[in-house]
Amino acid sequence: MIVSWGRPTEMSPGSTVDQVLWDTCVKYCYNSMYCVLAYGNDSSCTLFDFGDVSTVEKLDPEENLKVAMKINNSTADTTCPTSISGSFPSKMRSMWETFTNSNYNITFTGDLWKFSYQDKVTQAGSNYALPYTIIFPDGHFKLKQSIVLIGYPSEQRWFLNIESSIGEVLFHFNPRPEVNEVVRSTHRNGVWEMYESSGGYPFTAGQQFNLTITNSISDLQMYINQVWFADYRHRTPNPAEDYVKLWVQVAVYVDSLEILG
């Protein structure tokens, strides 16, 4: 992480974390798979994920606003950069660090950092630019609400995540065609928890599917093409309010995505 006085100037709404110190804010971003920038001070904290922020302006210390930007450290150089200038290539971490699909670059010119993003997977024909993120209506995925995603899978992995307000992945839905599995798991405190993969592989590359995920009292219920697929017992204490952000990424072509209920 590189820390400097600054603030985002072109961005999508980030995830606000209440009542945390600045060091804790930076740690939240560092431990979140998709966070690229933390912004705030000891009284405020906002996290921005891959694709959420375009430019950041450098400020004087008197403004009392900081940014922490996530960059890669090469194996050849394990020391922190000595300057906030220059260009910093980076990439989004992915599940178990086994593959990486999205890169970003941070360039400093004048008093402005610019973020540029590149998804290695071609999304031609998709109605939605990926990665695709939304904050749930009313601020959270309520009980009895459903996510309905209609799309076409490719022959590569893709995933849908439901995250908390601090960027933790409370539900990870990850079809893996090369092993005919759909992995479900949770990523908290920087660690992937035990995953589930029962149910087989109900997707076919190039064939349309309907994925419905319903938030029930005890679990997340998954239906594929209107047929029950699996349940995922909540691993968060307040499932009526803890699910805040939806993230869809990598090799899936999305025709429509709705939140119903």
Residue % of the chain over a pLDDT of 90: 43
Residue % of the chain over a pLDDT of 70: 82
Q: Where in the chain is the domain with CATH 2.60.120.200?
A: 132-260
Mean per-residue pLDDT, 13-39:
84
Mean per-residue pLDDT, 237-244:
95
Q: What is the pLDDT of residues 161-213, one digit of tens each?
A: 999 988 899 999 999 988 999 999 999 888 899 999 999 999 998 889 999 99
Q: What pLDDT does residue 122 have? A: 38
> Residue 82 pLDDT > 60, yes or no?
no
Q: 132-260 maps to which CATH number?
A: 2.60.120.200
Distance, CA of 84 to CA of 220 (rounded, Å): 44
> Residue 98 pLDDT > 70, yes or no?
no
Q: How far is CA 166 from CA 45, 162, 233, 245, 251, in A?
A: 9, 12, 21, 10, 26
Q: What is the pTM of this model?
A: 0.67
Mean per-residue pLDDT, 92-101:
36
Mean per-residue pLDDT, 98-103:
46
Distance, CA of 107 to CA of 8 (rounded, Å): 14
Q: What pLDDT does residue 120 have? A: 42
Phi (first) and psi of residue 118, to 5 degrees: -145, 120
Three-class SS string for 176-219? Answer: ECCCCEEEEEEEECCEECCCECCCCCCCCCCCCEEEEEEECCCE
User: Do 247 and 133 form a contact (C-beta atoms < 8 A)?
Assistant: yes
